[in-house]
Amino acid sequence: MLALLACLAAHESEARIRTVILISVDGLGLAQLDASPVPEIKRLMGLGASSLPAVTVDPPRTIPGHVSMMSGLRPERHRSFVNERKEGLGKVNVPTLFDLVAANRLKTTAVFGKEKLRFVFDTGAIQDSRLREWPFVGDFPSRFPKWVARQAAHALERDPPALLFLHFAWVDTMGHWAGWGSGTQRTAIQEVDAAIGEVVAAAHRFLAPCSFAILITSDHGGHDGSHGQRDPATGGLVDPVADLPIPFILYGAGLRAPEGTASIVDTAPTVARLLRLEIPGAWRWQGRSLSP
């Protein structure tokens, strides 16, 4: 806690964040996080990390959610409503944080836990893009939390990027497999929590003190065996209370409570602010920086 306070004081003078580690835990709704033992995330809270309840966008699905996370735009603006290759999934068609980092002549390393995310986002702005695919099992190996943590440690040790984007797919995969809130999914959350602990340890080992921030969020929650299901009669979400609330946890810099509710569209503006990125005049977020 004292170390973090010293960092916060230093940031008001000359020290600056050089690396932001943005962690998206796919499918980690706030209810699942609150119900799970997560000692590593709790340890971050003990070191002074701040936490806000936030909400994702509607539809609460992986691609619409992540495009909102990385573009700062809601689905009616970014138009990425489709979630699967078989539904006609296309490349992201609005500028994202990856483009902004590249435009500032900085480096992104992205570790993708699902092939479709890399398909959508890997448009040339990401200098180091990682996904593990095998014959017959496809991207399944890249869903293992330990694999993602190992890639993160490699990236931080060799040539630390300005933006390290880590996508943990395991909690969502186990939610679809065994149900949101199931014991199996809770175990998956513990495994991702342990992997986050490895990422934090690597950051402390390889990066200078006070030079990095870690933001942990998600794309949606879920209920039963999925998320985003709609009532055919009304067209509304069947369970918005389970699907929409997500965590927003920031370590290494301050976090302010916004007017209204924090949103997934606040992610990209917050990261841009932490890295002090220059933002072109034509850039129009719908989100706000939650870092003062």
Return residues touching Zn ion (CB under 5 A): 26, 62, 172, 219
Q: How far is the CB of 26 from Zn ion (least distance, A)?
A: 4
Exposed, middle or buried, 234 (CB in 10 Å: 0-12/13-18/19+)? exposed
Query: Bridge-partner residues for 213, per DSSP?
Result: 20
| CB closer to Zn ion out of 29 and 252 | 29
CA-based torsion, 190, 252, 149, 116: positive or negative = positive
Token pair, residue 106, equals 């900085």
| CB closer to Zn ion out of 19 and 263 | 263
SS3 256: coil
Give the Cα separation of 210 and 10 in Å (integer).
8
Q: How far is the CB of 227 from Zn ion (least distance, A)?
A: 7
Closest residue to Zn ion, judged by C-beta, is 62
Q: How far is the CB of 50 from Zn ion (least distance, A)?
A: 24
| CB closer to Zn ion out of 9 and 184 | 184
| CB closer to Zn ion out of 264 and 290 | 264
Q: How far is the CB of 118 from Zn ion (least distance, A)?
A: 14
Give the Å distances, CA to CA, from 187 to 32, 183, 184, 248. Answer: 11, 6, 5, 21
| CB closer to Zn ion out of 193 and 219 | 219
Q: How far is the CB of 259 from Zn ion (least distance, A)?
A: 27
**282: Cβ contacts below 8 Å, ≥ 6 apart:** none
